[in-house]
Amino acid sequence: MKKIIITVSVLILLALSSCTTMKAVPNEKAIERFIELYNTGDAIRITEMTSIPMLIDGEIVARDSDADSFWNSLAKAGFTLNGTESYTVEPLNPKSSLYFGDSMEVSTFFTKYVPKTAVLVRVEGPGGDFILLLSGRKGPYPFIFGFTGPLL
């Protein structure tokens, strides 16, 4: 009987760990790979790494095509982030959503869609610092849940 309980417990844990709602905290290497990927201008691949819905400067983007258009526009404009040496990582806290805006929409987005394992990555870009909201992984890259900046 004890073996059956252990076996069932292991199977449940395996099923949960493969679930997309169980997100991992992105490690330093995954964050650096994401910044490097972003700087290649590969908007298609970045769109694949985008969690939909996504938050952009306080606006919820609910369609893949809109996220694709956003990343393509940045790539065509030549927008890049300043390397992998100049970023900081902050775990989420009760005020994290304020980077994206002080609205009920942003607060609800964080409550409903952002995993507790998400981190805020502050990275230098043209005109100031930008915030990436990252969590989980798809292969070697974290998913992006939000993008905002430049910070004032």
Per-residue pLDDT, 15: 42
Q: Is the dihedral of CA 31, 32, 34, 39 positive or negative?
A: positive
Token pair, residue 42, equals: 């590969």
φ, ψ of residue 14 to 5 degrees: the values are -65, -40
User: What pairs with residue 120 in β-bridges?
Assistant: 90, 133
Q: What is the pTM of this model?
A: 0.82
- Pick out the chain residues at pLDDT < 50: 5-22
Q: How many CB atoms lie within 10 A of CB 141?
A: 21
- Single out the residue of 42, 41, 29 nearest to residue 134, CA to CA: 29
How many angstroms separate the CA atoms of 87 and 9, rounded? 40
Per-residue model confidence (pLDDT) at position 131: 96
Which amino acid is located at 51 in the chain? S
pLDDT at site 126? 78
Domains annotated for the chain, with CATH where assigned, are: 23-148 (3.10.450)
Q: In this predicted structure, what is the pLDDT of residue 118?
A: 96
The pLDDT tens digits of the residues spanning 59-90 come to 999 999 999 999 999 999 999 988 666 799 99
Dist. CA 122–CA 28, nearest whole Å: 13
Q: Are 101 and 152 in contact (CB under 8 A)?
A: no
